[in-house]
Amino acid sequence: MISFINDGRQFNYRIVGIALHDDHILLQRAEHDTFWALPGGRGELLESSPNTLRREIAEELGETVAVERLIWVVENFFEYNQLAYHELALYYLIRFPAQSPLYRLDPVTGLEDGNPLYFRWFPLLAVEQLEVYPSFLRQGLRALPAQITHLIHYDE
C-alpha cells in the first residue's frame, strides 16, 4: 500500500468510489469512527487506480464493480488519530451490477483487516446533514462535475 509516515506526518494515496443508486449514495464507516466516508482504499505499487478500486470493493464487499469515470483529483489535508495527513485521492464514479444485492441491503457489514466496516445508502439530499469527510463531499456529491476537477482541500 502506498502510505508512509515521515516526521509525525502521514502520506496516503487513496482511490475512492462514488456509487449512486436511486438518488442515494453509498457511504462507509469504520467501527471505531464517528464519521462517514466514501468507500475505497489505498493503492499498491504497480497497480492502476481503477484496479485498486475494483480490488478494494471486492475485498470489503465481495462485489464486482465497474469503474466509469474519474471525477475528482483531490489533495486532502487533515488530522486523524493525532497525525497530520497529506492524502492524494482519485475519486471515480462506480457502478455495481444491476442485480447486485447491495441495492436491496441496508446496512451492509464488510471487513477491512479483520475490522468491521459499515456501509449504508443515504439519500443524496441528506448528506449535507451528515458528518462526512472530506467535508467538501457534503455539497459536492449533489452536483458532480462533468469534467475531471482538481481540488486542494483542508479539513479542520
The 10s digit of each residue's pLDDT in 71-114 is 999 999 999 988 999 999 999 999 999 999 888 877 888 877 77
Residue range of the domain that includes 49: 3-154
CA–CA dist 126, 112 (Å, integer): 26
> Which portions of the chain are predicted below pLDDT 70?
none
Predicted pLDDT at 22 = 93
DSSP state of 88: E
CA distances from 67 to 43, 50, 71, 83, 146 (A): 15, 6, 11, 31, 16
**Domain at 25, CATH number:** 3.90.79.10
CA–CA dist 132, 155 (Å, integer): 11
Number of domains making up the chain: 1
pTM: 0.95
Residue type, position 111, single letter:
L
